[in-house]
Amino acid sequence: MSSRRSRSRQSGGSRITDDQINDLVSKLQQLLPEIRDRRSDKVSAANVLQETCNYIRNLHREVDDLSERLSELLATTDTAQAAIIRSLLMQ
Protein backbone atom coordinates (compact mmCIF):
# COMPACT_ATOMS: atom_id res chain seq x y z
CA MET A 1 0.00 0.00 0.00
CA SER A 2 1.40 3.41 -0.87
CA SER A 3 2.02 6.04 1.78
CA ARG A 4 -0.54 8.28 0.10
CA ARG A 5 -3.25 5.69 0.41
CA SER A 6 -2.44 4.97 4.04
CA ARG A 7 -2.32 8.70 4.79
CA SER A 8 -5.72 9.14 3.17
CA ARG A 9 -7.26 6.29 5.11
CA GLN A 10 -5.74 7.39 8.41
CA SER A 11 -7.17 10.87 8.08
CA GLY A 12 -10.71 9.65 7.58
CA GLY A 13 -10.84 10.24 3.85
CA SER A 14 -9.61 13.84 3.73
CA ARG A 15 -6.19 14.03 2.20
CA ILE A 16 -3.47 16.61 2.61
CA THR A 17 -1.53 17.24 -0.56
CA ASP A 18 2.24 17.26 -0.91
CA ASP A 19 2.04 20.96 -1.76
CA GLN A 20 0.21 21.64 1.50
CA ILE A 21 2.82 19.69 3.45
CA ASN A 22 5.62 21.58 1.73
CA ASP A 23 3.90 24.88 2.48
CA LEU A 24 3.48 24.00 6.16
CA VAL A 25 7.11 22.86 6.45
CA SER A 26 8.19 26.12 4.83
CA LYS A 27 6.11 28.11 7.33
CA LEU A 28 7.63 26.18 10.23
CA GLN A 29 11.09 26.82 8.81
CA GLN A 30 10.44 30.58 8.91
CA LEU A 31 9.41 30.39 12.57
CA LEU A 32 12.53 28.59 13.75
CA PRO A 33 15.52 30.82 14.54
CA GLU A 34 17.99 27.94 14.14
CA ILE A 35 16.90 27.29 10.57
CA ARG A 36 15.66 30.72 9.51
CA ASP A 37 19.09 32.28 10.03
CA ARG A 38 20.97 29.69 7.96
CA ARG A 39 22.29 30.72 4.58
CA SER A 40 21.17 27.54 2.84
CA ASP A 41 17.56 27.26 1.67
CA LYS A 42 17.84 23.47 1.43
CA VAL A 43 16.68 21.91 4.69
CA SER A 44 14.92 18.58 4.81
CA ALA A 45 11.38 18.35 6.13
CA ALA A 46 12.60 15.85 8.73
CA ASN A 47 15.18 18.37 9.92
CA VAL A 48 12.55 21.13 10.13
CA LEU A 49 10.26 18.86 12.17
CA GLN A 50 13.11 17.84 14.48
CA GLU A 51 14.13 21.46 15.02
CA THR A 52 10.48 22.34 15.67
CA CYS A 53 10.28 19.70 18.40
CA ASN A 54 13.55 20.95 19.93
CA TYR A 55 12.36 24.56 19.81
CA ILE A 56 9.04 23.73 21.48
CA ARG A 57 10.85 21.74 24.21
CA ASN A 58 13.14 24.71 24.84
CA LEU A 59 10.17 27.08 25.02
CA HIS A 60 8.51 24.80 27.58
CA ARG A 61 11.70 24.82 29.67
CA GLU A 62 11.87 28.61 29.49
CA VAL A 63 8.23 28.94 30.55
CA ASP A 64 8.80 26.57 33.46
CA ASP A 65 11.92 28.46 34.51
CA LEU A 66 10.20 31.85 34.30
CA SER A 67 7.18 30.53 36.22
CA GLU A 68 9.44 29.25 38.96
CA ARG A 69 11.33 32.55 39.12
CA LEU A 70 8.06 34.47 39.27
CA SER A 71 6.77 32.26 42.08
CA GLU A 72 9.98 32.88 44.02
CA LEU A 73 9.68 36.60 43.43
CA LEU A 74 6.08 36.68 44.59
CA ALA A 75 6.98 34.66 47.69
CA THR A 76 9.70 37.13 48.70
CA THR A 77 7.78 40.36 48.12
CA ASP A 78 5.30 41.88 50.50
CA THR A 79 1.60 41.34 50.00
CA ALA A 80 0.89 44.72 48.40
CA GLN A 81 3.68 44.34 45.82
CA ALA A 82 2.65 40.77 45.06
CA ALA A 83 -0.94 41.95 44.49
CA ILE A 84 0.28 44.60 42.04
CA ILE A 85 2.39 42.07 40.15
CA ARG A 86 -0.52 39.61 40.00
CA SER A 87 -2.88 42.30 38.71
CA LEU A 88 -0.38 43.27 36.00
CA LEU A 89 -0.07 39.65 34.94
CA MET A 90 -3.83 39.29 34.62
CA GLN A 91 -4.10 42.15 32.10
pLDDT at 29 over 50: yes
Q: What is the pLDDT of residues 5-27, one digit of tens each?
A: 444 445 566 899 999 999 999 99
Q: Apex CA 51: angle with CA 7 and CA 4, to 5°? A: 10
Mean pLDDT computed over 26-34: 91
Q: What is the pLDDT of residues 35-75, one digit of tens each?
A: 887 767 688 999 999 999 999 999 999 999 999 998 888 88
- In angstroms, the CA 19 to CA 15 distance is 11
pTM above 0.85, yes or no: no
Q: 40: which residues sit within 8 A by CB, 6+ positions away? A: none
- Residue 82's domain comprises 2-90
- In angstroms, the CA 22 to CA 28 distance is 10
The number of domains in the chain is 1
Q: 32: which residues sit within 8 A by CB, 6+ positions away? A: 48, 51, 52, 55
